Amino acid sequence: MLTITALDKTYANGTQALHGIGLGVADGEIVAVVGGSGCGKSTLLRLIAGLDAPTHGSVQVDGVAVAGPHPAIGVVFQEPRLFPWLSVGDNVGFGIRHLARPERTKLIEAELARVGLAGLARRLPRELSGGMAQRVALARALVASPRVLLLDEPFSALDALTRATLQDHLARLWSDGRPTLVLVTHDIEEALVLADRVIVLRPRPGRIDAVIAVDLARPRDRDAPAFERAKRQLRHALDASLDEGAPGISLAEAAE
């Protein structure tokens, strides 16, 4: 289980990015984090990943504190961030270099097949489309079988059709091993296609304003009336989060 307790982040210049974030994410759950500009979505993800240190509070995986990059946590960023001088296969296998070559090659080939890129291990990143490059980034994160996968607006740089295709593909990949997913996104539809719960952050400083359960059958039908109702509910919650006079919810409410 991923447990976030009383998390604060204040930068050296005095800017308070996050205040009092408390959240429990169950094994295999998908949680999306949404909110307006300045609400600290990406900061929260960096703290969970151990890429930055909180000012106060803690992040734990199965009761063990995350104090830096953690082997149980994988990260996919908005840009693929592939090493341009390495082949697709070597990019995917970068985090499992400690394994013997035959085992590493087997895992790389299997993961590329899972993301729909079988046979492309020898290609270079410059030979890939944007969607293909992001699939490589997904494969690189998944090949080490992380317990928790963090995604920071992973499809926002792609066109609408490719983005929808990869959202559905990610949902299928998740169903195989059911890792815990935490997805930061500005896209309401993306949050509802993927998440079991949506966390709405209130900005300046970022704090939890609402937690919305997504009670929709999988795979999600974007054209269904229930999906449209969920979009209206989430849009209303986002609008309310920008009301500076209203308080956010308590830590206990978020952790439930």
Residue 243 scores a pLDDT above 80: no
* pLDDT at residue 253 in the model: 42
C-alpha to C-alpha distance for 92 and 67, rounded to whole angstroms:
25
Instruction: Record the tokens describing residue 22, joined without a space.
Output: 């408390």
State pLDDT tens for residues 78-130: 888 999 999 999 999 998 888 899 999 999 999 999 888 999 999 999 999 98
Residue 6 scores a pLDDT above 70: yes
Residue 22 scores a pLDDT above 60: yes
* Cα-based distances in Å from 48 to 41, 79, 158: 11, 19, 25
* CATH 3.40.50.300 in the chain, residue ranges: 2-72+148-255
Tokens 């890129």, residue located: 117
Question: Pseudo-torsion of CA 217, 219, 224, 229, nearest 10°?
Answer: 60
* pLDDT at residue 169 in the model: 86
Residue 52 scores a pLDDT above 80: yes
Residue 46 scores a pLDDT above 50: yes
What is the pairing mode between strands 30-35 and 180-184? parallel
Contact residues for 42 (Cβ-Cβ < 8 A; gap 6+): 152, 153, 184
* pLDDT at residue 228 in the model: 95
Q: Which of 127, 128, 126, 139 is nearest to 93 (CA)?
A: 139
* pLDDT at residue 23 in the model: 93
The 8-class DSSP code of residue 249 comes to -
Q: How confident is the model at residue 197 (pLDDT cuts 50, 70, 90)?
A: very high
**Above pLDDT 70, what percent of the chain?**
95
Instruction: Record the tokens describing residue 32, joined without a space.
Output: 């999306």
pTM of the model: 0.88
C-alpha to C-alpha distance for 223 and 49, rounded to whole angstroms:
34
Instruction: Record the tokens describing residue 116, joined without a space.
Output: 């729909």
Q: Does domain 2-72+148-255 have CATH number 3.40.50.300?
A: yes
Average pLDDT value for residue range 42-53: 93
Residue 66 scores a pLDDT above 60: yes
Summary mean pLDDT of the chain:
89
Helix (H, G, I), strand (E, B) or coil at 94: helix
* Cα-based distances in Å from 98 to 51, 95, 102, 104, 144: 22, 8, 12, 9, 11
* pLDDT at residue 245 in the model: 52
Residue 54 scores a pLDDT above 90: yes
Q: How confident is the model at residue 148 (pLDDT cuts 50, 70, 90)?
A: very high
Look at phi and psi of residue 50 and say left if phi exceeds 0, alpha if psi is from -120 to 50, else beta.
left
Q: How confident is the model at residue 252 (pLDDT cuts 50, 70, 90)?
A: very low
